[in-house]
Chains A and B, each alone.
Chain A
């Protein structure tokens, strides 16, 4: 890798901004209120869900509705390993296990289903969430004779740091995956799968592995957030809304740039925090209207809008500025 890339102006300034932001975020529990910590934890949760959904579905073009399944698997891993009675495992180990179990399930599901094209894949993954939920409900009622589980309480700052660590790991993974040969292979599958296969790319392998990596992060985030929810049942853990929220946030932000899904997640997670408790029906109504509106009027999302505005300004600025940019 060329070292000058890291010292050039284009790289240095965003680099410094990101570093300062990261330091500010990592010491957040030391200087801000508990409410702020919990709010940022929720925002991070949505960012991780959204970015990990976009990691696979963005470049490959396969619309996955399985996010809620992997998220739920993570939640249930926590629920089983961190009961509020009995032996308790360390949080980090549980989080890692939640991720690994989701990863393995995604590998199996991926090998079975990723040969389904287009909308069939979406339908299948949608069914997966409901199937797991129904079987779990049956299992809890008939085999274990329980309904729902309580999870041991974990310190809020602790949850926050774990969430932040998953977030940083995810952003690094996304960044380097996009630039790697592997990421380019995924991109070419999204553009034309047959052509990619003819170029010698093992299309099934690339798709399944990326799908599983994105599932790992969803499982990890589920295992983390479960400790804040304290009570879990199949309806809470496997809520289809968690399949659609990340998609809305990603599309709202825009899929063409790495920061698009982050932007969308931050805005929506904040809106949810403000509106959901006071006006739940109005919040969900707004959610629906924005989803339809974005699909209809803002196909490139906020990123697309920003790029369009920039291009317009550049055109007005004349040729001088255009030269400076090239």
Chain B
């Protein structure tokens, strides 16, 4: 194969790999922000928690990192669920209007960010941590990728699609979509709105936690890693359209590919490129590409 084609393939698959993680993170935030109306600045902290939980389970107890997905998922769901039941439900009920709730809940999540991050710093220290798992090369048409990155992509797509099917087919998924469209009407139709929103928030946290587990397979982790992913997730959710789960999924891949291309040309500008796209998008089409 010609050299140029290998390079294109390298960027395309690299972008998909990054996009897979981004898509998961963004779908999680989309549930929390698009449906539960909590712009969760602490979203990235759940990613960090998932990553460190996997790190600890693997290095201390020797549990297979991919198996930890099953252990971490339910625990993070419960944390997210009870956070919403105690903190955000109370804020939602006492807020005079939707805008006031959006502002107060966002500030509360900023407080959460500091609580979770500093507890993690106290528990694990500020150093970079890493472990090695499935770390061998796989040759895909001339370009070589680490096996753990391909596994990550497979799991990210699998979890993303599974989740989408759950939303599209199940009864609870229908209730969630109804709550996303119009909480008041959904409630009149017999949806227990407080419960559904808490489930949404919990599921959003699970997506973040699982993404964290997958991330820990391939990059070094630190307790302060979360905020960058939160920002990327916010950008994708706005890009894909508020409350649109497929939008977040596709938007994640779009941003992953753009990021890889920019990183190929000038690595130090990839975050700046995200912000630039995001700010132009907010000004030109704040509803997002897939928003109605």
Contact = CB atoms under 8 A, between A and B. Distances in A.
Interface string B151-168: 000000000000000000
Contact of A299 (B87, B94, B266, B271): B94
Interface string A282-296: 101101111110011
Contacts of B227: 240
Nearest to B122: A281
B102 A138 contact: no
Contacts of A153: none
Given A123-B39, A284-B118, A128 B108 contact: no
B231 A130 contact: yes
Interface string B251-283: 000000000000000101101100110110011
A124 interface: yes
B272 A131 contact: yes
Interface residues of B, number: 41
Interface stretch (B6-14, B19-27, B109-117, B171-179): B109-117
B182 interface: no
Interface in A126-159: 126-128, 130-131, 134-135, 137-138, 141-142
A63 interface: yes
A295 B91 contact: yes
A295 B103 CA distance: 10
A119 B106 contact: yes
Interface residues of A, number: 40
A244 B272 CA distance: 21
A244 B110 contact: yes
Contacts of B111: 287-292, 295
Interface of A: 61, 63, 112-113, 116, 118-120, 122-124, 126-128, 130-131, 134-135, 137-138, 141-142, 240, 244, 247-248, 251, 281-282, 284-285, 287-292, 295-296, 299
Interface of B: 39, 87, 90-91, 94, 99, 102-104, 106-108, 110-119, 121-122, 227, 231, 234-235, 238, 266, 268-269, 271-272, 275-276, 278-279, 282-283, 286
